[in-house]
C-alpha cells in the first residue's frame, strides 16, 4: 500500500525522501534561544461541538473548539507554540500552512519530525516573516485528522499599522460529519448568523477554505475589494461586485468593504443557508447571488514589482503532469492520482540547490481540481494556459490547477530542507499525489 500522506512513514525518513541529504532537519530549526514574543498551547483533544443548527460533531479539536483557537501574532515576532496530544491512540503534528518556517519547524510527521504520541508534547519556535491570513492543521493522517477538526486560523498583523478596519472577521469554512449527516459551516455556523455593522464601518473578511474541495463564496449587497490571496497582498485591487469567489482547498482570500445602509450577505455556494448577514440592526438580510462571473485573479489588480518573471532565466524547470489512473496497483484494482504517471513514493523528487531560481509547470490532464501546495516557499504565478498575468503579481502557497489548465509558477530556492509538495485534496494525496522538494 502507499504511504498515507504524513502517516505510515517510518519516523525520520520516508521512502521518496533522500536519506542521505546533506542537510539535517535538526540543524534547520527556528531560533533556539530568545524569549518568545508570543506563546500558544494547542491541545489536541476530543470534543463534542454543537453547530448553530443544533447538530453535533464528534470532533478532534485543538483546545476543545472548532475551528481551533485563532493564533494572532505580528510579523517579525518570535513565536513559541506547544502542541500537547491528549487524544487516545492518535499521534498528531501541526503544520503552519503557508508560513515559510525553517524546515525543522514545518510539522510534517515522518519528514521533519516524528508524530507526537498520545501523552506527548512538542514545541515549535520560529520567527514570523509573513503577514496576513494563514491557518494551521495536523499533518499526520491529514485526510482524517483535518477533516475531523484538527485545524484553526492563524492571523498575522503587519508591523506597521494594518489598514484600519472596524471589524476583522475570520471565516473558516469546513464540512463536518455531524449527528445528522454532513454540514458545511462557517466557523460553527451552519445556519445564517446575524451581525451588526453600522453604515460606514470598514469590514475585512478573512475567508479560509479548510475543506479538500474547491469552494465558492459570494458577497452580496455591496462592492468590495479582494485585498489578498493566500495571505499575500494584491497590488492596487479594484472594486468588484457579485463575483463568485472561488477558493482552492487550503486557500484564503481577504475581502474588504464599507458597510452600506442596506444589508450585506456572505454566503457559501455549497451551503446557501449558512453564512453571515451584516446589517445596521443585526436583523436584516439579502438574498445571496450565485450567478456572477468567476473572480479571475490573473487579471485582477495592477502589475507591480516582482523579483523575477516570465522572461527570467531559470536554473531548473520541472514539468509536472497531473492525472488520474485507474488500474491494477499492488494486485488490486484502484484509482491513483498521479504526477508524471507516478505515485508516491515513486513520484518525481524535485532536487534544487540553494540560491537557484526554479520554474514549475503544472498541467492537469485529469478530471479533478488539484490544489498543489509547496511547503516552505511561496511561488509566483508566471502564466495560466500560456498567457502571462495582466494584473497584480500573485504569490501563492497553494496553486489551484483545474482540469485542462496549465499553470507556470516560479520560486527562489531559499529555504533549505526537505519539503512536501502535494495536492491539498488529502484524498488525492493518499492516492499518490505527493512529491518532495529537496536541496542538494
Ligand atoms: Cu496544508 Cu502539506 O499542508
Ligand atoms: Cu488533487
Domain CATH for 34 = 2.60.40.420
For residue 110, the CA-to-ligand 2 centroid distance in Å is: 21
- On whether the CB atoms of residues 82 and 134 are closer than 8 A, the answer is no
Residues 229 and 336 in one domain: no
- Kindly state the DSSP code that residue 438 receives in the 8-state scheme: E
Average per-residue pLDDT for the chain: 92
Of ligand 1's listed atoms, the one at least distance from the Cα of 429 is 2
- Cβ–ligand 1 contact at 5 (below 6 Å): no
CA-to-CA distance for 244 and 295, rounded, in angstroms?
6
Residues 202 and 273 in one domain: yes
For residue 158, the CA-to-ligand 1 centroid distance in Å is: 23
In degrees and rounded to multiples of 5, residue 142 shows phi and psi of: -55, -35
Say if 5 falls within a structural domain. no
Task: Identify the CA nearest to 208 among candidates 376, 337, 398, 362.
Answer: 398
54, with CB counted inside 10 A (0-12, 13-18, 19+), is exposed
- In this prediction, residues 18-31 reach a mean pLDDT of 67
- Cβ–ligand 1 contact at 139 (below 6 Å): yes
- In this prediction, residues 230-246 reach a mean pLDDT of 97
- Cβ–ligand 1 contact at 373 (below 6 Å): yes
pLDDT at 247 over 80: yes
Residues 252 and 282 in one domain: yes
Residues 336 and 269 in one domain: no
Identify the domain containing residue 424 by its residue range.
316-439
pLDDT at 7: 34
CB count, 10 Å around CB of 180?
Answer: 11
pLDDT, one tens digit per residue, over 95-106 is: 999 999 999 999
pLDDT at 25: 67
- Cβ–ligand 1 contact at 375 (below 6 Å): yes
Classify each residue of 350-371 as buried b or exposed e, where b means 16 or more C-beta atoms within 10 Å of its C-beta.
bebeeeebbbbbbbbebebbbb
- Cβ–ligand 1 contact at 97 (below 6 Å): yes
> Percentage of the chain with pLDDT > 70?
94
pLDDT at 235: 97
For residue 319, the CA-to-ligand 2 centroid distance in Å is: 16
> Percentage of the chain with pLDDT > 90?
86
Residue 106 CB contacts under 8 Å (≥ 6 apart), including other chains: 95, 96, 112, 375, 376, 417, 419
- In this prediction, residues 30-53 reach a mean pLDDT of 96
Residues 352 and 330 in one domain: yes
**Which uninterrupted H or E stretch holds 195?**
strand 192-196
For residue 161, name the pLDDT band (cuts at 50, 70, 90).
Answer: confident
Residue with cell 524546515: 103
For residue 166, the CA-to-ligand 1 centroid distance in Å is: 32
For residue 435, name the pLDDT band (cuts at 50, 70, 90).
Answer: very high
Residues 112 and 206 in one domain: no
Helix, strand, coil fractions of the chain, as percent rounded to 5: 5, 45, 50
CA dihedral 144, 138, 46, 119 (to 10 degrees): 120
Q: Which residue CA neighbors atom 1 of ligand 1 most closely?
A: 97
- Kindly state the DSSP code that residue 27 receives in the 8-state scheme: G
- Cβ–ligand 1 contact at 424 (below 6 Å): yes
Say if 6 falls within a structural domain. no
pLDDT at 13 over 70: no
- Cβ–ligand 1 contact at 147 (below 6 Å): no
- Cβ–ligand 1 contact at 137 (below 6 Å): yes
Determine the distance from the C-alpha atom of residue 254 to the mean position of all C-alpha atoms in its chain, rounded to a whole number.
13
C-alpha cell at 381: 504565478
CB count, 10 Å around CB of 387?
Answer: 12
- Cβ–ligand 1 contact at 252 (below 6 Å): no
Last residue of a domain, one of 106, 129, 157: 157
Say if 390 falls within a structural domain. yes
For residue 370, the CA-to-ligand 2 centroid distance in Å is: 4
Residues 131 and 241 in one domain: no
pLDDT at 229 over 70: yes
- Cβ–ligand 1 contact at 422 (below 6 Å): yes
For residue 162, name the pLDDT band (cuts at 50, 70, 90).
Answer: low
Task: Identify the CA nearest to 377 among candidates 25, 101, 134, 6.
Answer: 101
CA-to-CA distance for 371 and 96, rounded, in angstroms?
17
- Cβ–ligand 1 contact at 370 (below 6 Å): no
CA-to-CA distance for 436 and 324, rounded, in angstroms?
19
Residues 132 and 184 in one domain: no
Last residue of a domain, one of 242, 262, 295: 295
pLDDT at 4: 31
For residue 288, the CA-to-ligand 1 centroid distance in Å is: 31
For residue 133, the CA-to-ligand 1 centroid distance in Å is: 15
For residue 282, the CA-to-ligand 1 centroid distance in Å is: 37
Q: How many angstroms separate the most distant Cα atoms in the chain?
A: 64
Of ligand 1's listed atoms, the one at least distance from the Cα of 97 is 1
67 upstream amide cis, omega within 30 of 0: yes
Of ligand 1's listed atoms, the one at least distance from the Cα of 6 is 2
CA-to-CA distance for 265 and 278, rounded, in angstroms?
6
Classify each residue of 181-216 as buried b or exposed e, where b means 16 or more C-beta atoms within 10 Å of its C-beta.
eebbbbbbbbbbbeeebeeeeebbbbbbbbbbebbb
Q: Which ligand is closest in space to the CA of residue 368?
A: 2
Residue with cell 490573473: 298
For residue 440, the CA-to-ligand 1 centroid distance in Å is: 23
pLDDT at 268: 93
C-alpha cell at 283: 436583523
- Cβ–ligand 1 contact at 253 (below 6 Å): no
Q: How many domains does the chain have?
A: 3
- On whether the CB atoms of residues 190 and 53 are closer than 8 A, the answer is yes
Residues 381 and 284 in one domain: no
- Cβ–ligand 1 contact at 336 (below 6 Å): no
Say if 76 falls within a structural domain. yes
* Ramachandran quadrant class, 110 (left: phi over 0; alpha: psi -120 to 50; beta: rest): left
Amino acid at each position: 500500500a502507499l504511504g498515507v500522506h504524513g502517516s505510515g512513514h517510518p519516523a525520520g525518513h520516508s521512502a521518496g525522501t533522500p536519506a542521505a541529504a546533506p542537510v539535517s532537519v535538526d540543524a534547520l530549526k527556528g531560533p533556539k534561544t530568545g524569549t518568545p514574543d508570543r506563546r500558544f498551547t494547542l491541545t489536541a483533544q476530543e470534543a463534542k461541538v454543537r453547530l448553530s443548527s443544533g447538530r453535533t460533531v464528534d470532533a478532534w479539536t485543538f483546545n476543545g473548539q472548532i475551528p481551533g483557537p485563532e493564533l494572532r501574532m505580528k510579523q517579525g515576532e518570535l513565536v513559541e507554540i506547544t502542541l500537547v496530544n491528549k487524544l487516545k491512540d492518535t499521534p498528531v503534528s501541526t503544520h503552519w500552512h503557508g508560513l515559510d518556517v525553517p524546515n525543522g519547524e514545518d510539522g510534517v510527521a515522518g519528514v521533519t519530525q516524528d508524530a507526537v504520541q498520545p501523552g506527548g508534547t512538542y514545541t515549535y519556535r520560529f520567527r514570523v516573516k509573513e503577514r496576513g491570513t494563514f491557518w494551521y492543521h495536523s499533518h499526520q493522517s491529514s485526510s482524517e485528522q483535518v477533516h475531523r477538526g484538527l485545524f484553526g486560523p492563524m492571523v498575522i498583523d503587519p508591523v506597521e499599522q494594518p489598514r484600519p478596519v472596524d471589524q476583522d472577521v475570520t471565516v473558516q469554512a469546513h464540512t463536518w460529519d455531524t449527528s445528522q449527516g454532513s454540514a458545511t459551516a462557517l466557523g460553527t455556523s451552519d445556519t445564517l448568523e446575524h451581525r451588526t455593522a453600522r453604515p460606514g464601518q470598514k469590514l475585512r473578511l478573512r475567508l479560509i477554505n479548510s475543506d479538500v474541495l474547491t469552494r465558492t463564496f459570494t458577497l452580496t449587497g455591496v462592492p468590495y475589494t479582494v485585498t489578498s490571496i493566500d495571505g499575500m497582498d494584491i497590488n492596487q485591487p479594484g472594486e468588484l461586485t457579485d463575483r463568485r469567489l472561488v477558493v482552492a482547498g487550503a486557500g484564503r482570500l481577504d475581502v474588504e468593504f464599507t458597510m452600506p445602509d442596506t444589508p450585506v450577505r456572505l454566503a457559501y455556494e455549497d451551503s446557501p443557508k449558512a453564512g453571515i448577514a451584516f446589517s445596521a440592526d443585526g436583523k436584516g438580510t439579502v438574498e445571496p447571488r450565485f450567478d456572477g462571473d468567476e473572480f479571475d485573479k490573473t487579471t485582477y489588480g495592477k502589475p507591480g514589482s516582482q523579483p523575477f518573471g516570465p522572461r527570467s532565466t531559470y536554473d531548473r524547470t520541472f514539468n509536472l503532469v497531473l492525472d488520474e489512473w485507474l488500474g491494477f496497483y499492488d494486485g488490486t484494482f484502484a484509482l491513483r492520482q498521479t504526477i508524471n504517471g507516478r505515485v508516491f513514493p515513486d513520484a518525481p523528487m524535485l532536487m534544487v540547490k540553494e540560491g537557484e531560481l526554479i520554474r514549475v509547470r503544472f498541467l492537469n490532464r485529469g478530471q479533478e481540481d488539484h490544489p498543489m501546495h509547496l511547503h516552505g516557499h511561496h511561488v509566483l504565478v508566471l502564466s495560466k494556459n500560456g498567457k502571462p498575468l495582466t494584473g497584480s503579481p500573485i504569490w501563492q502557497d497553494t496553486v489551484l490547477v483545474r482540469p485542462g489548465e496549465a499553470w507556470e509558477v516560479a520560486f527562489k530556492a531559499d529555504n533549505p530542507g526537505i519539503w512536501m509538495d502535494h495536492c491539498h485534496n488529502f484524498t488525492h494525496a493518499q492516492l499518490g499525489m505527493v512529491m518532495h522538494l529537496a536541496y542538494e
